[in-house]
């Protein structure tokens, strides 16, 4: 415990310990903290569906029907029918043959990446030739991919090479150098800290040229990007071309869970080999019922997405005209780059004092001296709320000499 205490003392002395606030009520886009309403600019509830009356009603009906948990792995007795229905609907939504759900998005990456890239026969029971050595499998991952991808890669025991963020020359160099290996390229669809979009067409072209598989983590694109909200592949006109399409149910869908969509054989294989499918419990039943309702709304009500994009345009234009550096954000994730860790913490606290919830994102989540206020706008922000926030961002920017 000595080392743990020393680390805690250090982080507290250097103001590195995160402010983890306790939220008492969630009237999105506001949140209530210690009796005061804050305008929330940091939620991934992009379409406001977590509190949509139709979604809440469906979840409550789910509780009446199934109770609140499956209490078993799906391998044993936890494979309730609504999960199978949900997987059929997710596959249809993504335009793929099949899908498989997991309890969270993080667990999806922890389960899928090793299943595909670890030794496929750990017990030596299949009498077929296999790439047995860990070094025969190579994962090539964008440097800014999400932590759950990094952890999934680590567990897989495959060799991992990171390519410079979105640098296709670097990706090709690695593909060329390791052309004889069994290869998986992984990228976020929308990058979670910068809000930019992966160059998927180029990635797929290179993958075809050098015989690699492609996996996309579309946590922040699902429900948001594309004419029908199917995500990054739809937005870029590449539907059906990604081998392994991962998504989360915890952001635009408003619930909890993760999923992967692709071919029948991919999904069948993942059921055989994914530890986080086999050895843990599934999405709770009422969540599955709520998610089914949310998926219907996403498809039936394009106005949800239209409102979101209207807000993205307004917030971005306002920030740009104030002179903030929002790097290359192309989506609802809009970072205000501040740089110094301490300045970023102080700026975030200033926003909080003025009624805006927008936490500081700092090292080690992002690189040192690239600290930022990571803003997200959601469909249910009003124009007045965005304008009010812009006034406060403006005074924050001036006070801390950011603009």
Please compute, for residue 254, the number of CA atoms within 13 A of its CA located in the half-sphere on the CB side: 30
Distance CA 221, CA 233 (A): 9
Backbone angles phi, psi at 148, to 5 degrees: -65, -30
Give the shortest CB-244-to-ligand PLP separation in angstroms: 13
Catalytic-labelled residue, pool 94, 146, 220, 381: 220
Interface residue list for ligand PLP (CB under 6 A): 104-106, 146, 148, 188, 192, 217, 219-220, 248, 250, 258
156 is catalytic: no
**Closer CB to ligand PLP, 30 or 44, in the complex:** 44
Tokens of 154: 């680590």
Structure tokens that stand for 135 in this block:
């070094």
Report in angstroms how near the CB of residue 258 gets to ligand PLP at its nearest: 5
Q: Return the number of the residue (198 or 392) whose C-beta is nearest ligand PLP.
A: 198
Let me know: does 256 contact 288? Beta carbons within 8 Å: no
User: Please, what is the angle between helix 302-322 and helix 383-399, to 10°?
Assistant: 30
Active site residue 14: no
CB of 366 to ligand PLP, least distance (A): 13
Q: Could you tell me the smallest distance in angstroms from the CB atom of residue 248 to ligand PLP?
A: 4
Q: Which is nearer to ligand PLP, 10 or 363 (CB)?
A: 363
Min CB(362)–ligand PLP separation in Å: 16
304 touches 297 (CB < 8 A): yes
Tokens standing for residue 214: 């492609």
What's the per-residue H, E or C state across 201-256? HHHHHHHHHCCEEEEEECCCCCCCCCCCCCCHHHHCCCCCCCCEEEEECCCCCCCC
Active site residue 220: yes
Task: Count the alpha carbons within 13 Å of 272 in the hemisphere toward its beta carbon.
Answer: 10
Number of residue whose CB is nearest ligand PLP: 105
Instruction: Kindly provide the b/e burial profile for residues 368-388, where b requires at least 16 CB atoms within 10 angstroms of the residue's own CB.
Output: eebbbbbbbbbbbbeeebbee
What are the catalytic residues? 192, 220, 251
């Amino acid at each position: 415990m000595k080392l743990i205490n020393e680390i805690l003392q250090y982080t507290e002395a250097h103001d590195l310990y995160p402010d983890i606030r306790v939220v008492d009520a969630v009237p999105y886009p506001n949140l209530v903290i210690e009796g005061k309403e804050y305008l929330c600019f940091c939620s991934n509830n992009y379409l406001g569906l977590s509190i949509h009356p139709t979604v809440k009603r469906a979840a409550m009906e789910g509780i009446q029907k199934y109770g609140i948990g499956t209490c078993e792995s799906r391998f044993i007795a936890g494979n309730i029918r609504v999960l199978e229905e949900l997987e059929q609907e997710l596959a249809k939504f993504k335009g793929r043959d099949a899908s498989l759900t997991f309890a969270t998005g993080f667990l999806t990456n922890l389960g899928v990446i090793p299943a595909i890239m670890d030794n496929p026969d750990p017990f030596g029971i299949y009498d077929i030739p296999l790439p047995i050595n860990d070094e025969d499998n190579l994962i090539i991952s964008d440097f800014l991919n999400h932590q759950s991808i990094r952890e999934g890669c680590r567990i897989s025991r495959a060799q991992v090479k990171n390519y410079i963020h979105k640098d296709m020359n670097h990706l090709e160099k690695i593909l060329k150098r390791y052309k004889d290996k069994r290869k998986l390229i992984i990228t976020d669809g929308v990058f979670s800290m910068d809000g930019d979009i992966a160059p998927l067409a180029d990635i797929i072209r290179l993958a075809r040229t050098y015989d690699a598989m492609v996996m996309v983590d579309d946590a922040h694109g699902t429900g948001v990007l594309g004419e029908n909200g199917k995500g990054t592949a739809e937005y870029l006109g590449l539907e059906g071309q990604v081998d392994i399409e991962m998504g989360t149910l915890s952001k635009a869908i408003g619930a909890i869970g993760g999923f992967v969509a692709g071919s029948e054989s991919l999904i069948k294989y993942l059921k055989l080999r994914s530890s986080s499918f086999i050895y843990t419990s599934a999405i709770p039943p009422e969540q599955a019922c709520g998610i089914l309702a949310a998926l219907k709304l996403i498809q039936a009500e394009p106005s949800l997405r239209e409102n979101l994009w209207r807000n993205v345009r307004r917030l971005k234009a306002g920030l740009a005209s104030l002179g903030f550096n929002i790097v290359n954000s192309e989506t609802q994730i809009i970072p205000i780059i501040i740089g110094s860790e301490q300045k970023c913490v102080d700026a975030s606290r200033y926003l909080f004092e003025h009624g805006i919830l927008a936490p500081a994102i700092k090292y080690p989540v992002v690189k040192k001296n690239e600290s930022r206020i990571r803003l997200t706008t959601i469909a249910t922000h009003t124009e007045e709320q965005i304008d009010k926030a812009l006034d406060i961002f403006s005074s924050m920017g001036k006070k801390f000499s950011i603009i």
